[in-house]
Amino acid sequence: MAERILMNEFKALSQEPWVNVELQNDDIFRWTIGLIVLNPDSLFYGGYFKASMKFPTNYPYSPPEFRFHRPLYHPNIYTDGKLCISILHSPGEDEMSGELASERWSPAQRVESVLISILSLLDDAEVSSPANVDASVLLRKDFEAYKERVRKCVEDSKADIPEGFEMPTHESTIRSAPKQVKDDDSDFWAESDVDDDMFGGSGSDQEEVDSDAFEQGDDSMSDDE
């Protein structure tokens, strides 16, 4: 079952502009990820952040492992590239860390929701419990110097762009909500909420459309009366 679920997720993510996914040696349990930041307001905009994901054989009941190939200068990323993020911690509450079960991994999570959480974490660091103390201190004490360190990480990351791969840009992509994976095990999945700001967009256009449709609906009701 894990193989089928992962294959469906892999195929869905292969269509997304903000991530590049490949299998390592055709092994569905080992992925190479290229996270692409499309939000021009992000400090990490324009980066191609290469990483590895390793999935357990009992996925989705246990979380995958995630590690950046080039460690980013960030309060919540260890110097070996591993992340300090609740969504990748084993299911259940942890009294020692104070994490709630709702913050940690659950079988309802998907690869997509993990990657979106990681993108959100880049510009919304948790500085109270840092994995990189130096980065946490610099972020709080000297934001301009922190921005310069991040800028260097972005430039270094471009060396990992695969040959022949065309990097998407904010202007060349259209924001879309993550797609629901459809298969016989769809009960595992919950719809993911997407932060519009992550893609540099907002919901104002949709609200205007909905408002127009509502007004048209009122007119048609008046005509019937």
Structure tokens at 145: 């110097």
Residues 6+ apart with CB under 8 A from 140: 127
153 assigned to active site: no
Whether omega for the bond prior to residue 60 falls within 30 degrees of 0, making it cis, is yes
Contact 41, 170 (CB under 8 A): no
Contact 41, 199 (CB under 8 A): no
Contact 71, 77 (CB under 8 A): yes
Residues 6+ apart with CB under 8 A from 187: none
Half-sphere exposure in the Cβ direction for 206 (13 Å, CA): 7
Residue at 126: amino acid letter: E
Exposed / middle / buried, residue 46 (Cβ in 10 Å: 0-12, 13-18, 19+):
middle
List 2, 23, 28, 84, catalytic entry? 84
36 strand-pairing partners: 48
Q: In what order do the strands lie in the sheet with 27-36?
A: 19-24, 27-36, 48-54, 65-68
**Catalytic residue IDs:** 84
